[in-house]
Chain A
Amino acid sequence: MSKQNETGGKVRVKRISKDNMQAFLMILPFLIGFIIFSYVPIVYILRYAFTNYTGFGDAKFTGLANFVRIFQREPDFWMSLVNTVVLSLGKLAVEIPLALLLAVFLNKKLKGVSFFRVTLFMPAIISAAIIGLIFSLLFASYNGMINSMLQNLGIITKPINWFNTKSKAMLILGIASVWQNYGINMIFFLMALQSIPKELYECAAIDGATGPKCFFKITLPMIAPIFQSILLMAIVGSLKVCDLVISCTNGQPGGTTEVVMTYIYKSFFGKSGRNIEIGYASAMALITAIFLGIVTIIYLKATKKLKELEG
């Protein structure tokens, strides 16, 4: 570099700064777009959360009135938040161990595993909205496939109405969500497993360690750091679930399966018989954003140890 400067002199210096200018200009449109589409919406929410804006006319500053109303008179919002957490915990408790188990199986050098890898991943390429729709059809009460299969097997005598109570409808949402995500988590785990050096298992085999012992003493500690990232993505992803719920239950029965994202969407756009209250919906969005942030921070603090296991 220094040699080049000596020979190239001023021309080269000028060239470099011109190149740098070009590099910056190439990024600039995307930087501006990024700020507009990622940060301006947050500013927008912050601005209107403290007003009574309804989408028309002027926004009047109302201080904390929206928040007082949310905390005192909006049990449905809190229920949607609780639903989101319950749904996430429930489905992750099934999905993550299942994905890990499938990954362990696929990691064995058996014939045909690549076929299963490709086919089990397939649900991940389908639109969440379409998945919700398909599952609402599969579990339809009178002409649904699942009901008739259960009847043919003699497990039930009468068709079950899967969407008339909250717990059953939530169960379907959970099943649909697990179906959507186990494939991709399986692949994440598989990649983690493949990064474990084979020698470790050979050493363990010499020491006489077998199956489950190997798994808990070698496999789990070795994939712990990646496990932490996978779980974080899965948690954040399931707390933000929206499309699937809208297309599957749309909050039915009676708005009891609403999750926080659908609830706020409906408040912003005045769906399901709600008034359009931009200011109020912004306040709920702000609370939810803070909630998501807190969950992430707590998770990262709580799982710090997992990350340190590496090395």
Chain B
Amino acid sequence: MIKAKRNLSNSIIYIFLAIFFVISFFPVFFTFMSSFKSNMEVLTTGNTLFPKHFVFENYKKAWELADFSTYTKNSVFLSFFCVIGSILSSTICGYAFSRGKFKGKELIFYFMISSMFVSLGTLTLYPLLMIMKFVNLNKSLWGVIIIRVFGMNVTNLFIARGFVTSIPTEIDEAAKIDGCSFFGIYRRIIFPLCKPLVGTVAILSFRSSWNDYMLPMVFTMTDPKRMPLVVGIMHLKSSGSTASAWNLMLAGTAISLIPMIIIYIVFNRLFISGMTAGAVKG
């Protein structure tokens, strides 16, 4: 009797989860399926999920005619430098905040953490653009990279400091006796030990830089040649040619989703642990 009841409640749970599995996947699946439809089919008959004929031409056209090769290159460029920069910034700051003993360390740390509460998102886009105009980087993705890397991500800082603190100090004490400088210990000993941390930070900053929209959009507003993928897709949507290029937009969207989804499938553990690490401590 009890067992039957348990089976019933378990199947209800499974049904519920299965429904949400479908809900989670459907919009993405729909995008991929639509990206194989011809423009005629997209515009006239949206009522079939699967395309009548799989048109691979969309991807070729998007890649060659609609500049998606440029957008992808820009996205790769932006993400690459954001990832490298974030790895360096978070390991350096994590190490210095964890092992450094200079005056005012705690104060500076909490000062930097405070940005969590003063970050105003879109409100500061314009001032950021003007700041970058001073150094003539207001029309380049380098401006975005510098803001993202030096603007310090609080989550990364938290994770990095916690990770370095968990490395036993005996290791760097030994190096110190051998005459290693503070920076030398970072370069030779701590950084090589930070592999799991580097993985998490890399994934987090890849996700945010690949998906970023407003900031790179503002920095590339006047120059489509510099736009990363997400900005390029939205540019195509808002330009008047949407109706004639709906299929290209869908193919472009699929192009932007594929790398992210592949990386998620491979590294989902890192994704989930990384994206929640900041929340639990903060």
Residues of A within 8 A of B (CB): 15-16, 18-24, 26-27, 29-34, 36-42, 44-45, 102, 105-106, 108, 110, 113, 116-131, 133-135, 137-138, 140, 142-145, 147-149, 151-152, 179, 182-184, 187-188, 191, 226, 229-230, 233, 240, 242-243, 246-247, 250, 261-262, 264-265, 268-269, 278, 281, 285, 288-289, 292, 296
Note all chain A residues with C-beta closer than 8 A to B146. 33
Note all chain B residues with C-beta closer than 8 A to A262. 122
Contact B120 A292 (CB under 8 A): yes
Contact B118 A39 (CB under 8 A): yes
Stretch at the interface among B56-64, B193-201, B209-217: B209-217
In the complex the two chains form, what is the Cα distance from A257 to B11 in whole Å? 40
Contact A247 B256 (CB under 8 A): no
Contact A105 B17 (CB under 8 A): yes
Number of residues in B with C-beta < 8 Å to the partner?
92
Query: Can you list 15 residue pairs at the A/B interface with Cβ under 8 Å?
Result: A15-B176, A16-B101, A24-B96, A26-B96, A30-B92, A31-B108, A45-B123, A45-B124, A122-B24, A128-B213, A129-B213, A130-B233, A147-B47, A229-B279, A268-B126
Q: In the complex, which residue of chain A has the Cβ closest to the Cβ of B104? A: A24
Contact B131 A40 (CB under 8 A): yes
Contact A23 B131 (CB under 8 A): no
Q: In the complex, which residue of chain A has the Cβ closest to the Cβ of B97? A: A27
Secondary structure class of chain B's binding surface, majority of residues: helix
In the complex the two chains form, what is the Cα distance from A106 to B21 in whole Å? 13
Q: In the complex, which residue of chain B has the Cβ closest to the Cβ of A29? A: B150
Contact B89 A134 (CB under 8 A): no
In chain B, residues 8-34, which have Cβ atoms closer than 8 Å to a Cβ of chain A? Answer: 10, 13-14, 16-17, 20-21, 23-25, 27-28, 30-31, 34
Note all chain A residues with C-beta closer than 8 A to B122. 240, 242, 261-262, 264-265
B143 CB, nearest partner CB in chain A, Å: 11
Note all chain B residues with C-beta closer than 8 A to A129. 211, 213, 230, 233-234
Note all chain B residues with C-beta closer than 8 A to A128. 211, 213
In the complex the two chains form, what is the Cα distance from A285 to B127 in whole Å? 11
In the complex the two chains form, what is the Cα distance from A22 to B47 in whole Å? 64
Q: In the complex, which residue of chain B has the Cβ closest to the Cβ of A98? A: B20
A308 CB, nearest partner CB in chain B, Å: 19
The residue among B30, B42, B182, B249 with the most chain A CB atoms within 10 A of its own CB is B182
Is B271 engaged at the interface, CB distance under 8 Å to the other chain? yes
Contact A121 B183 (CB under 8 A): no
In the complex the two chains form, what is the Cα distance from A140 to B264 in whole Å? 29
Using A122-B25, A143-B43, A179-B23 as known contacts, say yes or no to A22 and B121 having CB atoms under 8 A apart: no
Contact A36 B131 (CB under 8 A): yes
B2 CB, nearest partner CB in chain A, Å: 12
